[in-house]
Amino acid sequence: SQQGEEDPQALSIQEGENATMNCSYKTSINNLQWYRQNSGRGLVHLILIRSNEREKHSGRLRVTLDTSKKSSSLLITASRAADTASYFCATDGDSNYQLIWGAGTKLIIKP
Amino acid sequence: NAGVTQTPKFQVLKTGQSMTLQCAQDMNHNSMYWYRQDPGMGLRLIYYSASEGTTDKGEVPNGYNVSRLNKREFSLRLESAAPSQTSVYFCASSEWGTGYTFGSGTRLTVV
């Protein structure tokens, strides 16, 4: 069953603006991961944040994790047209082999 | 380029036909996975192989079989295809506690 939930389901912003997506989950975790999927392509791993970490950066990406609220956010700064994609969060729950996936946030960057 | 290679990229089957989806990775990862992705939904795990020589059912295994041929290769077989198996199939690989590397997907239509 899908226990991860991304919010919002869809987001449309102007190029150059920041985009924030949220993920909530239900079980305790060891780590939480964010992935990007361009239309018709495979998923690409962006960031993995462990349960003992609160914030992690990678280029224009910033991920936060609040285990007390069972939530995470992905911030993309200075968005570009190439950031147009669907973004998924996944948590390991009881097993690193059976990640729990959300349904994704569809991000559209308008030029 | 290092990564996960899936074949074929597209396939149309008639109900009742069988086929095997092939997957190979060259990153020396121990774990491999087969997922399906349906419109508006996150990924659902079909089967996984935690290490060479082992396979386990995921969330939606009915109608599928898998073979971990060696450390590099993990195939998915549909013995008698049904329209409900129309989907996009993704293979992935990983090491414990790290992000997954996905293939580019197989678009399967069963008519």
Q: How many CB pairs under 8 A join A and B?
A: 58
> Minimal Cα–Cα distance from A69 to chain B, Å?
22
Please check the confidence at residue A3 and state whether its pLDDT lies above 90: no
CA separation for the pair B3, B28 (Å, rounded): 10
* Terminal Cα-to-Cα distance of chain B (whole angstroms): 35
* Residue A108 vs residues A19, A87, A100, B104: alpha-carbon distances, Å: 10, 11, 24, 21
pLDDT at B39: 83
Of A4, A45, A96, the CB nearest to B101: A45
CA separation for the pair B57, B80 (Å, rounded): 18
Contacts of B56 in chain A (CB under 8 A): 97
State pLDDT tens for residues A43-91: 999 999 999 999 999 999 999 999 999 999 999 999 999 999 999 999 9
User: Could you tell me which residues come within 8 angstroms of residue B61 by beta carbon, excluding any fewer than 6 positions away?
Assistant: B46, B47
The answer to whether the Cβ–Cβ distance between B43 and A31 falls below 8 Å is no
State pLDDT tens for residues A80-91: 999 999 999 999
CA separation for the pair A22, A9 (Å, rounded): 10
pLDDT at A4: 67
pLDDT band of residue B40 (cuts 50, 70, 90) is: confident
Of B59, B97, B100, the CB nearest to A45: B100
Q: Pairing between strand A19-24 and B101-102?
A: unpaired
Give percent above pLDDT 70 in chain B.
99
pLDDT at A21: 96
Name the residue with tokens 């997922």: B35
pLDDT at A2: 39
Beta bridge partners of B75: B67
Contacts of A41 in chain B (CB under 8 A): 104-105
